[in-house]
Amino acid sequence: MNKEVVKELIQQDLTPGKITFELKKILSDTSKITRLKEDYLELKKLLSEGGDASKNAAKSIYDFIN
């Protein structure tokens, strides 16, 4: 997947205000909710091809790094 599915809040970005803002979008924006569900279904499909999600995820990360 070559796109951000959910906002990653780390280090200085992890503030109560930003968490609240992102959670409100996830919980109340119907188009965001629909898109999240679609993205997670796509991600699940990508990772479960071949039947081993952990192995596929590790291979994807390895391929990306190299």
* Position 3 confidence tier, pLDDT thresholds 50, 70, 90: confident
Using a cut of 0.75, tell me whether the model's pTM lies above it: no
Residue ranges covered by each domain of the chain? 15-65
pLDDT at 4: 85
Residue in 35, 30, 47 with CA at minimum distance from that of residue 7: 35
d(C-alpha 54, C-alpha 57), whole Å: 5
